Amino acid sequence: MNIIMGKQRLCICLVILFFGEVSLQRCTNLRLQLSAINKNNLELLKNKMRTNLPLQCLSDMRDFIATQDTLRKIQTSLEENPKVAIHEIFQQIVQIFNQNLTETAWDENSMTVLQTGLHQQIQHLRTCLSAEMENGIPSPRSQNVQLTRLRVKRYFQSVDNFLREKQHSLCAWEIVQMEVKQCLLLVDRLANRIPN
């Protein structure tokens, strides 16, 4: 009986080792993959945006300054947990682009490309993050992780509010897309902080 139990335990350990190994291997390229996908998404986004903000949007822009300021303020703290921050930023961008897009230049195909890229990276990051958690990272750090997510969520909440208040108008979308571009540039900087 003991021998059988022992064998089972050995098998389970081997399985855990094997999958642990696989997920670690996949995570070693995380930084490069994130940078590549992010570059693609930036290109896609730039193609859908106007080069300059239309003059009629300047007054809406004034209503957005506080939100822009928030991104600038939280940047440094996000660098403490770059993977978590990127994971949350991508999830929030998915939500933003799930809204009423009629006033934007996005068509279904290009939006699917953007969303698919984001979803893949969200999955990838989730795998890497859960592998790290299994390595027994203690709770002061997990509190810090929660705080990082909260900061990102609060910031995107105000982006979301702005879009809704402005009824997903052309100006609101132009301004929000400029901001999403800033977020993707931030993701690039955050990705550079992930150890290789």
Ligand X SMILES: *[C@@H]1O[C@H](CO)[C@@H](O)[C@H](O)[C@H]1NC(C)=O
Binding site for ligand X (CB under 6 A): 100, 102-103, 167-169
Distance from C-alpha of 71 to C-alpha of 156, rounded to nearest angstrom = 9
State the Rg of the chain over Cα: 20
In the complex, residue closest to ligand X by CB: 100
Cβ atoms of residues 67 and 175 within 8 Å: no
Question: What's the min distance (Å) between Cβ of 166 and ligand X?
Answer: 8
Question: What's the min distance (Å) between Cβ of 66 and ligand X?
Answer: 22
Question: What's the min distance (Å) between Cβ of 170 and ligand X?
Answer: 8
Residue 182 CB partners (closer than 8 Å, separation 6+) = 68, 71
Q: Within 10 A of 126 (CB to CB), how many other CB atoms are there?
A: 13
Query: In terms of CB distance, is 126 or 164 closer to ligand X?
Result: 164
Query: In terms of CB distance, is 122 or 172 closer to ligand X?
Result: 172
Query: In terms of CB distance, is 100 or 130 closer to ligand X?
Result: 100
Query: In terms of CB distance, is 91 or 104 closer to ligand X?
Result: 104
Distance from C-alpha of 123 to C-alpha of 16, rounded to nearest angstrom = 19
Question: What's the min distance (Å) between Cβ of 105 and ligand X?
Answer: 14
SS3 32: helix
Query: In terms of CB distance, is 151 or 166 closer to ligand X?
Result: 166
Tokens describing residue 179? 């901001």
Query: In terms of CB distance, is 120 or 161 closer to ligand X?
Result: 161
Residue 108 CB partners (closer than 8 Å, separation 6+) = none
Question: What's the min distance (Å) between Cβ of 165 and ligand X?
Answer: 11
Question: What's the min distance (Å) between Cβ of 100 and ligand X?
Answer: 4
H-state helical runs in 49-138: 58-62, 65-78, 82-96, 108-134
